[in-house]
């Protein structure tokens, strides 16, 4: 059985007449008769009662017609779904992000606009450190991640820059410089630094260390923070001073002040990481949303 048989069957059923049906289809009457006969032979059922003035559906034909119409509806639906699938309307997107990335206003904005544009895509969000994120991108456990990359792309990872945030100094409120409006990094010579573990985010770590060195400061690590977002808390209890990406100053941590840096300050990059071999339309659409949100800025 082919759809051709079913198309012909519908034509004869609707015209009630083989000759007119053949005309409508655009073939001659004998091959139409032959195709209908083939269909009847396959079903082992008579679909039409041949009358002297045309052909009428048998009860079997009536029952068959109702379901054949559904077949063609389903065929059309399948085509539509293929197109929508190609447009990336279905499937899932597993997004990861480092804690500090979530403070950039673009991150929730991008996720929200993607969700609105592709409501049928199942989104999952996971907060991990940059090292874990890169591993999971490589192993394809997640599809895209907001990370803090270095100036050069990690191996086997595709990077799309999202933002470059200035960094700010974090001081305990009791610190001798806490009342300034802005300070140079050089004024923090010999102050113990609170920094996240290099393991978890080596690029930002190196950027910070290098920034201090450029300002003539030889950094002294006073305390390792388990993650960037907890640096301010450690500064509040006077374990040292630090610098963090500017958006993190939005956290309301009692006992600390955030000060802009005067002069050559380290900058925190924010990027989206994806797998270079990920040809999924959903991921491509997500990167498209990232680009759109960057342009709007």
Partner DNA sequence: TAAAAATACTCCATAGGTATTTTAT
Partner DNA sequence: ATAAAATACCTATGGAGTATTTTTA
- Which DSSP letter does residue 153 get? P
Per the CB < 8 A criterion, the answer to whether 157 and 241 are in contact is no
Residue 30 found at the interface with DNA (CB under 7 A):
yes
CB–CB of 133/272 below 8 Å? no
Tokens representing 252? 């309301």
Please state, in angstroms and rounded to a whole number, the distance separating the CA atoms of residues 18 and 64. Answer: 18
Q: Measured at the alpha carbon of residue 90, what is the angle toward residues 85 and 92, in degrees to the nearest 5?
A: 135
Q: Identify which range of 53-61, 74-82, 121-129, 202-210 contacts DNA by CB under 7 A.
A: 53-61
Applying CB under 7 A, what is the total number of residues that bind DNA? 26
262-291 mask for DNA (x: CB under 7 A)?
Answer: ---------------x--------------
Distance CA 264, CA 212 (A): 9
Look up residue 290 and give its two tokens: 């990232």
Q: What is the rounded CA–CA span in Å between residue 178 and residue 259?
A: 8
**Which of 38, 180 has the CB closer to DNA?**
38
CA distance 297 to 291: 10
CA distance 16 to 237: 90
Q: For 230, which DSSP code?
A: G
Say how far apart CA 201 and CA 148 lie, in whole Å.
7
Q: Which of 1, 41, 44, 52 binds DNA (CB under 7 A)?
A: 52
Question: Measured from the CB atom, is 4 or 112 closer to a copy of itself?
Answer: 4
Q: Among 24, 29, 45, 138, indicate the residue that binds DNA (CB under 7 A).
A: 29
Residue 119 contact partner, candidates DNA, a copy of itself, none, CB within 5 to 8 A by sort of partner: none
Q: Which residues bind a copy of itself (CB under 8 A)?
A: 1-4, 43-47, 49, 58-64, 66-68, 70-71, 74-75, 77-79, 81-86, 88, 90-91, 279-282
Of the listed pieces 49-57, 196-204, 226-234, 258-266, which binds DNA according to CB under 7 A? Answer: 49-57
Instruction: Output DSSP code: residue 264.
Output: S
Which of 44/277 has CB closer to DNA? 277
Contacted entry of a copy of itself, DNA, none for residue 114, CB cut-off 5 to 8 Å set by kind = none
Shortest Å, Cβ 12 to a copy of itself: 14
Q: Is 24 in the site for DNA (CB under 7 A)?
A: no
Q: What distance in Å separates the CA atoms of residue 117 and residue 7, rounded to the nearest whole number? A: 37
Q: Distance (Å, rounded) from C-alpha 266 to C-alpha 5?
A: 72
3 makes contact with DNA (CB under 7 A): no
Cβ neighbours of 45 (radius 10 Å) = 14
* Residue 92 binding target from DNA, a copy of itself, none, CB below 5 to 8 Å by type: none
Pick between residue 143 and residue 203 the one whose CB is nearest to DNA.
143
Minimum separation from the CB atom of position 58 to a copy of itself (A): 7
Nearer to DNA, 30 or 85 (CB): 30
CB nearer to DNA: pick between 29 and 187: 29
Chain residues in the site for DNA (CB under 7 A): 4, 17-19, 22, 26-31, 33-38, 48-55, 277
């Amino acid at each position: 059985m082919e759809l051709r048989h079913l198309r012909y069957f519908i034509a004869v059923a609707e015209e009630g007449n083989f000759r007119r049906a053949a005309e409508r289809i655009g073939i001659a009457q004998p091959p139409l008769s032959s195709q209908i006969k083939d269909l009847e032979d396959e079903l082992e059922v008579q679909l039409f009662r041949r009358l002297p003035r045309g052909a009428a559906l048998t009860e079997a034909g009536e029952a068959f017609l109702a379901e054949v119409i559904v077949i063609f509806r389903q065929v059309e639906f399948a085509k539509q779904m293929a197109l929508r699938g190609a447009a990336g309307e279905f499937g899932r997107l597993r997004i990861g992000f480092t804690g500090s990335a979530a403070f950039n206003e673009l991150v929730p904005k991008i996720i929200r606009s993607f969700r609105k544009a592709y409501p049928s895509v199942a989104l999952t969000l996971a907060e991990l450190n940059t090292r874990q994120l890169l591993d999971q991108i490589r192993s394809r456990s997640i599809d895209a991640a907001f990370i803090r990359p270095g100036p050069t792309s990690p191996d086997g990872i595709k990077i799309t820059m999202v933002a470059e945030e200035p960094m700010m100094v974090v001081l305990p409120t009791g610190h001798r410089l806490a009342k300034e409006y802005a300070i140079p990094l050089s004024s923090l010579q010999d102050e113990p630094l609170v920094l996240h573990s290099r393991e978890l985010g080596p690029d930002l770590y190196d950027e910070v260390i290098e920034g201090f060195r450029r300002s003539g400061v030889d950094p002294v690590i006073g305390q390792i923070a388990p993650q960037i977002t907890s640096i301010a808390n450690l500064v509040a209890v006077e374990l040292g001073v630090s610098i963090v990406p500017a958006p993190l100053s939005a956290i309301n941590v009692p006992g600390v002040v955030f000060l802009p840096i005067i002069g050559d300050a380290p900058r925190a990059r924010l990027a989206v990481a994806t797998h270079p071999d990920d040809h999924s339309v959903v991921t491509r659409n997500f990167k498209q949303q990232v680009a759109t949100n960057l342009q709007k800025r």
